[in-house]
Chain A
Amino acid sequence: MNKKPLSLHIDVEKLIPATEEEKEYIVKMRPSTTFFRDGAKRFLKNKVATVSLIVVLLITLTSIFLPMFWPYSYEQQLGIEPGKAVDSTYNNLAPFEYGATEQAKIDAGEKVFPHVFGTDSQGRDYFIRVVYGTRISLAVGFFASLIVLVIGLTIGSVAGYFGGKIDLIIMRIIDIIYSLPDTLMVILLSSVLGPVLEGVITGTVFAKLGANMISLFIVFAVLYWVSMARLIRGQILSLREQEYVLASQATGAKGRWIIRKHLIPNCISVIIISTALQIPNAIFTESYLSFLGLGVNAPMPSLGSLAAEALNGINSYPFRLVFPAIVISLVVLSLNLFGDGLRDAFDPKLNS
C-alpha cells in the first residue's frame, strides 16, 4: 500500500525485474491454432477418415506416376509389331501368362515383365489399363467437380449478394433444374452432344479428349451446379445476418474485412466439403455413362468402360470385371468417407 497516495515519489519495488514464476503467466503455453490447423487435428483423430485419405492419395499417386515406369502402355497391342503378322497368343492372357515370343525369351533365360492382370481381348496389358482407367476416372471426377464449384460459386454468390429479383429468377431456374431427373437428362444430353461435338472438335486440342468426355463435362456444367449454387446462396444469406457480422460492423469494420475475416472462413469449409463429396458422385456418373457406352472414347479406358468391356467376356474372364469393380468401389467409398471426415472436422456448426 502506498502510504502517500499523492506523492510523485516512485515506488522502487515496482521496478524490480519479474521473477521466473511471474514470467510464466505471459509465456504462451502453445502457439494459438488457426481454424485449419484445428480442423486438420480433428480430422487426423478420425481413424476412418485418415485411412481413406491415405487410400485416396495412394490410388491417385499410383495412377499418376506408375504409367511412367510401367514397361507397357495402355494402348499398346502387344501382339502387333510392325512388319510382322498379328500374334494372337497375346490376346486374352490370364494373369502372369506370357505371349509366344515372350515365352521364348523366358525360355532363353531373359527376364520379361509379367502381365500382372493378364491382357485384354486386343492383347493390351490389363494392369496398366486399370491404372490408366483409374487416372481417367479420377481426373473426370476432379475436373467435373471443379466446373461445378466454379459455376455454383458464381451463380450462388450472385443470387445471395444481390437478392431481390435476380435471386428470385435464379432460384426458380434452380428449382426447375433441380427437379429434372438428372441421370435421364445426362444420358439424353450426352447421347446427343457426342455426335454434335464430334464435328466441332476434330483437329483441335480437344480431339484427344474425345467428344464424349467433353460432353460429359458440359452436362455437369449444365445440370449439377444447382445444389452447389443453392448451398452457397444459403450460406451467404445466413452469414450476412449473423451477430458477429453486425458486431464487426458496429466496431467499424469495412466490407472487405468482414468478407475476408468472417464470410469466407465460414463459407469455405462448406464449399470444400461439398466439392469433395461431389468428386465420388462425378466418378459414379462417369462410370455409369461409360458402362452404357456414352463415356470416354476407345482406346482410352475408364473404370466404367473397362467394366462394360469385361461384361462381354464375363463367362471366360470374370477376373477382368473384378479388378475395375474393386478399384471403383474402393475409390468411391474412400472418397465418401474422406468427405464425411472433412465435414465432421471442418464444419463448425456440426460440432455440438
Chain B
Amino acid sequence: MNTKTLVYVLKRVALAVLTVWVVITVTFFVMRAVPGGPFASEKAITPAAQAALEAKYGLDKPVMEQYFTYLKDIVTKFEFGPSLKQRGRNVIDIITDGMKTSSKLGVAAALIALVSGIVLGSVAALRRNKIIDKVIMVVTTAFVSMPSFIIGSLLLILFAITFHILPANGNADGGMILPVVTLSLYPMAYITRLTRSSMLDVLGQDYIRTAKAKGVSGNKIIFKHALKNSLIPVLTYFGPMLAYIVTGSLVVEQIFAVPGIGRSFVNSITNRDYTLIMGTTIVLATLIVVMNLVTDILYKVVDPRINLE
C-alpha cells in the first residue's frame, strides 16, 4: 500500500465515521421533534406519572445533555437504552435477537444472488445474442423493475396459496425458502446484468485475443482470464446489495411473518417505540456505511488501475 492509497483509505474512513455521526445526530433530534414526546400516545396519564416516566428515561434533562449521554452510551457501551413499548427489554437485545434471524436470511439471499447472478451473467455473455441470452436479459429486466414487496407477494400467491408447495409463514419448516428467494431475486438480476456487460467488455480485450492466439483452451480463457477480471464491477455492488437486502428485508419479513429485525423495525414505527426506531436505524445504517466503506477500499486494492480520486 503506497501513501496515496493510505490517504484514500483514511479519507474514506473519516467520511464513514462522519456519516455515522450524522445518522445518530439526525435520528436523535428528529425523534425529539415529535410533538408531545414519546409518551403522547399513552392513554389518560396523570401529570405525576408522566413526570415519573420522563425522569425514568432521562427525558426531563436538557436536550443537549440527553444527546451527549445518548452518544456516549452508543460509542462506549453500544447501548441504546430501554425499549419504550416492550417493557423490561433493552433496545440492543431486541436488535441482536432480530439480527440472528435476519442475518441468516440476508446472508443466504446474498450468496444465492452472487452465485446464480455470476453464473447466469457469464452464460449470457458467452452465448451473446443467442436465445438463452435474450431470455436471461428479459427476465432480469422484469425482476429489476419489480419492487420487493410485489415479488414477495406474487411468490406467496403462487407457491403458498395457489399450489400449497411452500409454507407462507417464515416460522414453519422450509418457511425461509420464499423469503430468501424473494430477497435474492433483485440482486441476482442486477449481478447478472453487471457480470454480462463486464464479461463482454473483458472478452473484447487484447489479452484475451493473445491468449486465444497462443492456443489456450476455451475453458482456461474463461476461468483464468475473463471471469476474474469481469468480477471486479460485481465487487462494487456489495455495498448497494447489502443496503437493498436490509431495506428489502423490512417488507419481506412483514409479508412472510419472519421474526427478524426488519419486522421489529416496522412494528416499532407503527407502535411509535421511539428508542427502538432510533436504535434500529442507527445499527442498520452503520452496517450499510461500513459495508460501503469495505467495498470501496477493496475495489481500489483489487484493481490497481483505478484512479484514486
Interface of A toward B, CB cutoff 8 Å:
175-176, 179-181, 183-185, 187-189, 191-192, 195-196, 199, 280, 284, 287-288, 291-294, 304, 307-308, 310-311, 314-315, 318, 321-322, 325, 328-329, 332-333, 336-337
With a CB–CB cut-off of 8 A, which chain B residues contact A337?
141
Instruction: Determine whether B229 belongs to the interface, using a CB cutoff of 8 Å to chain A.
Output: no
**Contact of A191 (CB < 8 Å), options: B18, B142, B254, B269:** B269
Closest to A175 in B: B15
Q: In the complex the two chains form, what is the Cα distance from A315 to B157 in whole Å?
A: 8
Interface string of B261-304 (1 = CB under 8 A from A): 00000100110000001000100110011001000000000000
With a CB–CB cut-off of 8 A, which chain B residues contact A322?
154, 157
Q: In the complex the two chains form, what is the Cα distance from A157 to B2 in whole Å?
A: 36
Asked whether B247 lies within 8 Å of A184 as measured between CB atoms, the reply is yes
Extra 19 A-B pairs, beta carbons < 8 Å, given A189-B30, A322-B157, A333-B141: A176-B15, A179-B19, A179-B292, A181-B247, A181-B289, A185-B285, A195-B35, A196-B33, A196-B34, A199-B35, A287-B147, A287-B149, A288-B149, A304-B149, A311-B153, A314-B156, A321-B154, A322-B154, A325-B146
CB distance from A87 to the nearest CB of B (A): 29
Asked whether B284 lies within 8 Å of A184 as measured between CB atoms, the reply is yes
Interface string of B116-155 (1 = CB under 8 A from A): 0000000000000000000000000110111111100110
**Contact of B149 (CB < 8 Å), options: A280, A307, A318:** A307
Q: In the complex the two chains form, what is the Cα distance from A181 to B281 in whole Å?
A: 9
Q: In the complex the two chains form, what is the Cα distance from A330 to B251 in whole Å?
A: 20
Q: In the complex the two chains form, what is the Cα distance from A299 to B256 in whole Å?
A: 26
Interface string of B248-265 (1 = CB under 8 A from A): 001100110000000000
Asked whether B145 lies within 8 Å of A336 as measured between CB atoms, the reply is yes
With a CB–CB cut-off of 8 A, which chain A residues contact B288?
181, 184
Determine the interface band of chain B, counting residues with CB < 8 A from chain A. Answer: 35 or more
Q: In the complex the two chains form, what is the Cα distance from A223 to B249 in whole Å?
A: 22
CB distance from B308 to the nearest CB of A (A): 15
Most buried by A among B33, B147, B250: B147
Asked whether A180 lies within 8 Å of B285 as measured between CB atoms, the reply is yes
With a CB–CB cut-off of 8 A, which chain B residues contact A294?
269
Q: In the complex the two chains form, what is the Cα distance from A292 to B154 in whole Å?
A: 17
Asked whether B161 lies within 8 Å of A188 as measured between CB atoms, the reply is no
**Contact of B157 (CB < 8 Å), options: A199, A288, A318:** A318
Asked whether A192 lies within 8 Å of B157 as measured between CB atoms, the reply is no
What 9 A-B pairs come out closest when comparing CB atoms? A333-B145, A183-B247, A181-B288, A318-B157, A325-B150, A332-B145, A179-B19, A291-B149, A191-B269
With a CB–CB cut-off of 8 A, which chain A residues contact B154?
321-322, 325
With a CB–CB cut-off of 8 A, which chain A residues contact B18?
176
Asked whether B150 lies within 8 Å of A328 as measured between CB atoms, the reply is yes
Closest to A181 in B: B288
With a CB–CB cut-off of 8 A, which chain B residues contact A293?
269-270
Q: In the complex the two chains form, what is the Cα distance from A287 to B247 in whole Å?
A: 13
CB distance from A235 to the nearest CB of B (A): 17
Closest to A316 in B: B161
With a CB–CB cut-off of 8 A, which chain A residues contact B15?
175-176, 179
Closest to B284 in A: A184
Instruction: Determine whether B16 belongs to the interface, using a CB cutoff of 8 Å to chain A.
Output: yes
Q: In the complex the two chains form, what is the Cα distance from A167 to B289 in whole Å?
A: 24
**Contact of B284 (CB < 8 Å), options: A181, A199, A307, A321:** A181
Q: In the complex the two chains form, what is the Cα distance from A180 to B25 in whole Å?
A: 12
25 contacts between A and B (CB under 8 A): A176-B15, A176-B19, A179-B292, A180-B19, A181-B23, A183-B243, A185-B23, A187-B281, A191-B269, A196-B35, A280-B145, A292-B250, A292-B251, A293-B269, A307-B149, A314-B161, A318-B162, A322-B154, A325-B146, A329-B146, A329-B147, A332-B145, A332-B146, A332-B147, A336-B144
